[in-house]
Amino acid sequence: MFYLSTRNEKIRKNPSEAILQGIADDGGLFMPDSFENAQFPMNALSSMTAKEISAKVLALLFAGDGMFTDDESGSTEFWKAVSRAYDGKFDGGDFAPLAKVGDAYVMELYHGPTCAFKDVALQVLPQLVKEAKRVTGMTDEIVILTATSGDTGSAALSGFSDVDGIKIIVFYPEHGTSAVQERQMVSCDGKNTCVCAVRGNFDDAQSGVKNIFASIKLPKGVRLSSANSINIGRLAPQVAYYFKAYRDLLKNEEIKMGDKVNFIVPTGNFGDILAGYFAKKMGLPVGKLVCASNENKVLTEFFETGTYNKNRVFKITKSPSMDILISSNLERLLYLVCGAEKCAKYMNDLKEKGEYTLEKDELDKIRAEFEAGTTDDKVTLETIKRVYEQNGYLMDTHTAVAWDVYEKWLKESGNKDKSVVLSTASAYKFSASVLDAIGESYDDEFDALTKLEAISKVKVPSALDGIKNKKAVHSNILNKEDMLSFVSEMIGKKEWRK
């Protein structure tokens, strides 16, 4: 397997090189050169454990480079890496359990160290980075740069904290996350960690990080990489839970092998839903992938019209992890549909004009695979209340966006296939909004955690228990224009914190 830039197929890297580099030299994202040799053995899926599924997905996507290889497939050593990443890290032991809610299933991806779906990938990524360094013989220090709209930051900090040879800097939008999300990040006390608020929104932080990759002059012995889903090493582990969900439906006798399953995904940066498309390309019988957006509905309008236009008012919503106008991973889908030359043109149009428009045949190809819908804050809160009253199930704001889009899409399409809604964060991470939805009062977001526990009779996740009392050890705030100089200064420091 080789990895090519979405903007220039002449840029060609081994899997380990793609993982370490994070983003291609031309600003493109790395993509597998083909999925033909990465077909999942569906006939064995029913008998595989969750960790075996994850190991097999990683072995298929990162084959041929000597990573974790001790047998013909490499899956044995990948299994050991997955075990190191997951064992003892997820409440209940299952990193992606299915919960039956009404006629659908909810895939709960929030039982990890930071109560968000990013944990599934970001506990694995450090294992991949360390192995990639071994395979390539790299001795340079790696500095991970990450922009976050809330959940990636805390999950990346959890995964990379105090990992030898790696440092991590996380940027998040000031006033753009929940108080719980912010406290999770600023209380991380790893000696190799740095957290910084940016005056602006997520797109400002994300654009700033991309600019740093393109512009920074690094001292000898230092390299940059990313923990965002622009890094293929972050995206690949997410593919596995789509296969696991299918296996669980088989075990529950909800489907038979070969039946199609729909997946409804709340998304802003397009990474999580793209992982589902990767799974389909690897042989999973996926029906429709339904992209659920909040009021920042740039993706919904793209799927409806073929025009991607970021020139609009940025809205701060009750589902802040989806408050994004530049969906970076959409570039990978464009590459698959249009090819590298056209993809590069569209990305340049987005940079120069703030928009681009697909050809009709290109849009038709995308719409054959994807559906899209949107939900506003009012309906999001109404959905939380209604599902709780009807099913006794509490969901966070992001999951509620996906649930409402699922219900509207199901009514319009009449689709009869089994559907799985991805729940990407614990209700406790957005407990204030959840309590607002069900009409309960609270003093602040931290008090809301206690109130939600009393009402739901579900214990506060261990990752959030006592979060209010965790000391903030990071207090950096800067303008987006100063991100480059800030990173340069931090890289020049031998120690970040004693």
Q: What is the DSSP letter of 42?
A: G
Q: In sequence order, what are the beta bridge partners of 479? A: 199
Helix 330-338 and helix 340-353, axial crossing angle in degrees, nearest 10? 140
Rounded distance, CA 463 to CA 90, Å?
A: 10
Rounded distance, CA 198 to CA 211, Å?
A: 14
Rounded distance, CA 389 to CA 371, Å?
A: 28
Cβ atoms of residues 456 and 428 within 8 Å: no
CA angle, 110 as apex, 109 and 114 as ends, to 5°?
Answer: 135
Three-state secondary-structure class, residue 110 = coil
Residues 6+ apart with CB under 8 A from 488: 216, 217
What is the sign, positive or negative, of the torsion defined by CA atoms of 5, 8, 13, 17?
Answer: negative
Rounded distance, CA 80 to CA 140, Å?
A: 25
- Which residues are catalytic, by number? 118
Cβ atoms of residues 116 and 104 within 8 Å: no
β-pair type (222-226, 141-147)? parallel
